[in-house]
């Protein structure tokens, strides 16, 4: 129900607005997770985190075109990329929840995107850019 409600909210938003980038989707999801403390706590305690990862994958699949404008990958690695992004998203959200949600959802989305950039630079570019 959480993911269905989130889909409805996002679809309604996109009907009336045209965000300039995909950060809106990430921030919206993080804000909704922030509001669902009991749900997240239950998921973690029940060891059902795979359900959240599956839900995140569903969101990414639904918004595949926008997602790949941000990620820039090829079709051959598409599924691997989506698994990595969904798993890392949930891992970050789970850690955030367990540590008392000290950062705002907006700050958390910046940390999330920054982490991907840092890993990319560390692996493929000049590490002095970090």
CB-based contact 44:91 (threshold 8 Å): no
pLDDT at 48 over 80: yes
Residue 88 tokens read as: 């890392």
**Residue 32: pLDDT over 90:** no
SS3 call for 47: coil
Residue 66 has pLDDT above 80, yes or no: no
The pLDDT tens digits of the residues spanning 112-121 come to 888 888 877 7
pTM for the predicted model, two decimal places: 0.66
Q: What is the mean pLDDT of residues 6-22?
A: 70
C-alpha separations of 54 from 39, 61, 84, 110 in Å: 15, 10, 12, 22
Report residue 100's pLDDT band, with 50, 70 and 90 as the boundaries: very high
């Amino acid at each position: 129900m959480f993911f269905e409600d989130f889909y409805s909210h996002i679809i309604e938003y996109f009907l009336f607005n045209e965000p300039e980038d995909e950060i809106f989707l990430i921030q919206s999801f993080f804000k909704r997770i922030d509001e669902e403390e009991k749900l997240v706590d239950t998921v973690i305690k029940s060891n059902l985190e795979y359900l959240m990862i599956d839900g995140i994958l569903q969101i990414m699949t639904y918004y595949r075109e926008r997602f790949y404008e941000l990620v820039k990958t090829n079709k051959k690695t598409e599924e691997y990329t989506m698994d990595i992004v969904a798993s890392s998203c949930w891992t970050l959200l789970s850690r955030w929840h367990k540590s008392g949600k000290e950062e705002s959802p907006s700050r958390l989305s910046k940390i999330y995107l920054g982490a991907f950039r840092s890993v990319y630079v560390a692996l493929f570019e000049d590490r002095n850019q970090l």
